[in-house]
Amino acid sequence: MLTPEQYLGAMADRIQRAGGRLNSVQIGPATAVVGLFTEQVLLTTMNYCVIAAAVPEVSAAALYDFTGRATQHARANLTGTMGWTAGSVVIAGLVGGRVYPDAAQAASAKSGNQFGGETRMVAVDLSAGQLYAFVGGKLWGAAMQGSVNAKLTYCFPQPAEVYQQVQWQQAQRQPQHPMPAPAPQVPLPPYAGPAGPQPPVYPPPGHAPQQGPYGY
């Protein structure tokens, strides 16, 4: 099964490849992986805070508490004036070996509209290979919603996708077996050609030659 550390490692790699500022912070009892992005969407500076931590089990209460703490961290790192020239999008997720049904329902529910920002919750169930999050559209801010959805689906990959990537990386690290040495060359027996005229057999010295039936 995929481990939380492997999943968070894949997230960190994606955050860096997407140009995010990667760091780790203490959010409650857990050390979280944090990616900060600043992008221009129309005339607004969008601040994205992608944050995730590993826990043994994900409950709705734990998800709400983690998201609230993550939102405070994101507001403290905001670029611009909240709500006027800048927007803040917090995508907070918990990764665990089990996700309770109440957490899956909370993460999958449509997020509410907020002044100058939005918060999305993600719950990743590694044992079941499931990811729960709201990835949809709203009646307002179509450009912003498309950007938020793209950021969420890229930074929080499906567990099966991460598992395949980890398997491939482990296969690349395994030492290559050396090629077996070639078998020694055995000399071939001399070639026996077709039967032809045999060389004459001479009698040993000291013996008279035998005469044929006609005397010679």
The predicted structure's pLDDT at residue 133:
94
Q: What are phi and psi of 33, to 5 degrees?
A: -85, 130
Q: Tally helices (H) and strands (E) across the chain.
A: 5, 8
Helices 60-76 and 101-108: angle between axes, nearest 10 degrees: 40
Which amino acid is it at 10? Answer: A
- Are β-strands 117-125 and 57-58 bridged in parallel, bridged antiparallel, or unpaired? unpaired
| More confident of the two residues 169 and 121 | 121
If you average pLDDT over residues 139-160, what whole number do you get?
81
Which of 33-37, 62-66, 191-195 is predicted with the least confidence, judged by mean pLDDT?
191-195
For residue 79, the model assigns a pLDDT of 63
Contact 92, 51 (CB under 8 A): yes
State residue 140's pLDDT score.
47
Is pLDDT above 50 for 111?
yes
Would you say residue 105 has pLDDT above 50?
A: yes
What's the confidence (pLDDT) of residue 118?
83
pLDDT digit string (tens) for 172-203? Answer: 887 655 556 566 666 655 555 555 555 555 55
Contact assessment for residue 59 and residue 102, using Cβ atoms and an 8 Å cutoff:
yes
Nearest to 154 by CA among 3, 20, 42: 20
pLDDT of residue 15: 96
Lowest mean pLDDT among 78-82, 114-118, 171-175: 78-82
What is the reported pLDDT for 216? 47
